[in-house]
Chain A
């Protein structure tokens, strides 16, 4: 019951208000309650809205794939190759980054990635570069990984650690090769954690403002930046609400599809 009340107060009611807000108007920088579809029509007719939508979807998709791929070997090693003591320390170090603000961590990347930064200085020592590492998608991706990679490793690790070892041994006994065991035995058994990790990455990166703004140079902008732009100029909160609703619907669709895939029984 408390969870229902919690969800009603902090999710359902605000969501309903967001929908209502999207039909309000702005006059003289003030929101005026009403019912007008103009905000939906305006936003859906703008090319830049759809550009930002598909771009954000693409960015989040790429971030999800890259994060999951990078996290898996790490989680696998921690689950199967190291001692419990090392695993505990690794878990600790995976959680520690969350003690500091994500914004601060993102800002600190600028010192590494800028043209005169640490990486380019090191590249210069071996006669390479300078490379453009900041204010582009690469910079944004570094920010996304900073946000998601530790979390995804932990989620995958929990799932991999619970894989029944006897099934792995059975696969080996039946002559299954190492790689085949990983992909045909371990991955399906750890499917829930892997998919949940991917879903979390998608959700976090799809709505992230910090990385595309501070490491991507807002160039080109994502939907979260579009929300800020919309509210900054002319106080168009109702139009920002339209963008937010589109984002929520997209995320809910992706999330339900992913969770269904995660818990689907093998036929």
Chain B
């Protein structure tokens, strides 16, 4: 005969044991222990927000400052997103960091205009649909910015720009004096001329001093290149040092350097806020332009959110933040950005010459005084870099 009791399923057996009257002391103690442990583990969980509310992470690679709270906190709150920024110093550094990371690491890539083509060629960025962004709001000069388009395809959306010329200590040099690159050779600046340690903006400005403005200070033949090298080497006795980002700030602030070429308001705007007597000017021979723009990283899994961020930062609200970015200021290429900053901070709008009445910063472009910073056209980047190393050693 079959013992019915023996054939009961296991669940039933357990149920019987737990509910039945023959519950042993050890079982009670064991059960109590389990309940205590479970309670202990679950109590802190009450304090942890449910997982559904955890912020999404959006990874950005950018110059310092673009991922700081003054730039992103509003967007983060609006979209329950956490922007995680990896900062670089210089386009070369950016390319290296991206090349060392697996595809899809960065959702947003902030780049200088001249590096967009290299990003595209290396396959690091996605094509973009211009209809998805505020392109119609751009000033004509930026509505089809060559550096961001490869044929008919857009690869980057401009956020801000600025000019590079001569930055100077206003206690030592007047505006008029600084409006000519030749001031750098003045005897009163012996040992007091500084360089931001990057060949491209420095050689670009000195090329303008040599009169190479057509078609571009970066598009020069071999004889003009030789002339530029001579000009640069003749400046050597005046040079007090070569500085990185922090060193440039410090040297202008503590009076160690009286003048620098190849930098602009992106540095002096911040130093001035600290009360130091410095300013920047575009000399009569012309100036260099930098631009910063956002692309979407190749293989990004959060492209919609990345697009949303680009729309935000190019919107009037985003542009007001960008213009006044704590790390370094920048001008807006968006008409609505100008309107917004004139309402939010008219003084800053005036300081950066983003006003609709009178001569403004876009007029400099229209007058042909400003040239886009680019990699050398007729020489290799290596030639320019080699010369810069020679110059530093001279």
Chain A residues in the interface with B (C-beta under 8 A): 28-30, 46-48, 51-52, 107, 110-111, 114-117, 132, 134-135, 213-214, 216-221, 226, 229-236
Question: How far is A47 from B382 in the complex, measured between Cα atoms in Å?
Answer: 15
Contact assessment for B247 and A221 in the assembled complex, using a CB-CB cutoff below 8 Å: no
Contact assessment for B392 and A233 in the assembled complex, using a CB-CB cutoff below 8 Å: no
Question: Would you give the shortest CB distance from B235 to chain A, in whole angstroms?
Answer: 13
On chain A, the residues within 8 Å of B96 by CB distance are 29, 231, 235
Contact with A along B189-209 (1 / 0, CB 8 A): 001000001110000000000
Q: Given known contacts A135-B241, A233-B92, is B392 in contact with A221 (CB within 8 Å)? A: yes
* Nearest-CB residue, chain A, relative to B394: A220
Q: Given known contacts A218-B243, A220-B392, A229-B389, is B254 in contact with A114 (CB within 8 Å)? A: yes
Question: How far is A30 from B97 in the complex, measured between Cα atoms in Å?
Answer: 10
Q: Given known contacts A213-B244, A217-B243, A234-B381, is B393 in contact with A29 (CB within 8 Å)? A: no
Q: How many residues of B contact A (CB 8 A)?
A: 36
* Nearest-CB residue, chain A, relative to B96: A235
Question: Would you give the shortest CB distance from A130 to chain B, in whole angstroms?
Answer: 10
* Nearest-CB residue, chain B, relative to A51: B393
Question: How far is A147 from B389 in the complex, measured between Cα atoms in Å?
Answer: 27
Task: Determine which residue in A111, A115, A217, A226 has the highest number of CB atoms from chain B within 10 A of its CB, and name it.
Answer: A217
Contact assessment for B389 and A48 in the assembled complex, using a CB-CB cutoff below 8 Å: yes
* Nearest-CB residue, chain A, relative to B99: A30
Contact assessment for B254 and A217 in the assembled complex, using a CB-CB cutoff below 8 Å: no
Question: How far is A126 from B146 in the complex, measured between Cα atoms in Å?
Answer: 60
* Nearest-CB residue, chain B, relative to A130: B255
Question: How far is A230 from B93 in the complex, measured between Cα atoms in Å?
Answer: 11
Q: Given known contacts A115-B255, A229-B389, A232-B92, is B122 in contact with A217 (CB within 8 Å)? A: no
On chain B, the residues within 8 Å of A218 by CB distance are 197, 241-243, 392
Residue B211 at the chain A interface, CB threshold 8 Å? no
On chain B, the residues within 8 Å of A114 by CB distance are 254-256
> Can you name 18 A-B residue pairings with CB atoms under 8 Å?
A29-B96, A46-B390, A48-B389, A48-B392, A51-B393, A114-B256, A116-B254, A135-B240, A213-B247, A217-B242, A217-B243, A221-B242, A229-B388, A232-B90, A232-B92, A232-B93, A234-B385, A236-B382
On chain A, the residues within 8 Å of B381 by CB distance are 233-234
Contact assessment for A29 and B389 in the assembled complex, using a CB-CB cutoff below 8 Å: no
Question: Would you give the shortest CB distance from B163 to chain A, in whole angstroms?
Answer: 23
Question: How far is A216 from B242 in the complex, measured between Cα atoms in Å?
Answer: 9
On chain A, the residues within 8 Å of B386 by CB distance are 46
Question: Would you give the shortest CB distance from B39 to chain A, in whole angstroms?
Answer: 45
Question: How far is A216 from B191 in the complex, measured between Cα atoms in Å?
Answer: 13
Question: Would you give the shortest CB distance from B341 to chain A, in whole angstroms?
Answer: 34
A214-B247, A218-B242, A229-B389 known; 7 new pairs, CB 8 Å cut-off, are A30-B122, A51-B393, A114-B255, A218-B241, A229-B197, A231-B92, A235-B99
